[in-house]
Structure 1
Amino acid sequence: MIQKLQLGASISLIALIFLTLAWETVLAPLKPGGSLLIFKVLPLLLPLFGILRGKRYTYQWSCMFILFYFTEGVVRAWADVGLSAKLALAEVILTILFFTCTIFYARLTRQTPQNQVKNP
């Protein structure tokens, strides 16, 4: 189960990175030829290696971090029209998948009192 959650988080984060790049460069940029919104992909790179390596701490903070992208997706799905609105809906779906996987991964990998090492 833990491996499936890690795979789901990894795939959804990578897909969100590619979606953001494609959206803001060629599919539906705010300005023809692209916009500065392409730089919103940079923060998505911060948790990437921790997620791929299964680092619990990265799963803990990135589940809150991804809510910024969820909010952007909801707002743009409601406010934009055409392809941009559909891409925003895809962003919402990917962020929900990522959030769900990271929450359950962090929960299932936490140390219980029986597993914790006692300090002398």
Structure 2
Amino acid sequence: MTTLLARRLALVGYIGLLLWVILWHAFISPSPHLSVVFMLVIWLPWLLIPIKGMLAGNPYTHAWSVYLLLPYFLHAGVLLWVDEGERWLAVVELFLASTMFIGNMYYAKLRGRELGLSIRKKKA
């Protein structure tokens, strides 16, 4: 995998997930019990935290932002298991989160090598 391909995968997953959360909770299947604003306040901030570094191509941001994907993986997994009505929505969410995860990991690794960044081993 090339650095450019990894970056594109990361950005497609990131921007796709950002847009998907908005579309899902505001238009496609808004919650009947909770307001759209509340749902977006719950789901969007996690994706907005790394926006500056993701768009700038910072390998460090790409590396740590995968931790912010955990709620989306868990949400998709639970819905795949329990909610037949929103299963297809969860599949899209899982696909986008996985794309971002894979792209971020490879981009951080490859770009970090290009820049000469590495994790130093401790001297015993």
CA deviation vs aligned residue, 1:55-82 (integer Å, no higher than 9, x gap): 0110111112212211111112222222
Runs of 4+ residues over 4 Å off in structure 1:
none
TM-score normalised by L of structure 2 = 0.80
Q: Number of paired residues? A: 113
Cα RMSD after superposing both structures: 1.9
Work out the percentage of aligned pairs sharing the same amino acid.
Answer: 27
Matched, 1:88 2:90: yes
1:42 aligns with 2:45: yes
Partners of 2:36 and 2:87 in 1: how far apart?
A: 17
Rounded to whole Å, the distance in 2 between the matches of 1:77 and 1:35 is 24
2:50–2:65 Cα contact (<8 Å) kept? yes
Distance 1:30 1:19 in 2: 15
After TM superposition, the structure 1 stretch with the greater mean CA deviation from structure 2, 91-100 or 32-41, is 32-41
Gaps of 5+ in 2: 118-124
TM-score normalised by structure 1 residue count? 0.83
Per-residue Cα deviation, 1:82-113 (whole angstroms, up to 9, x for no partner): 2x22111110011111100111111112248x
* Match in the other structure for 2:72: 69
Q: Distance in 1 between matches of 2:68 and 2:44?
A: 13
Residue 4 of structure 1: how far off its partner (Å): 1.5
- Give the whole-Å Cα distance in 1 for the aligned partners of 2:83 and 2:37: 16
- Higher RCO (Cα < 8 Å, 6 or more apart): 2
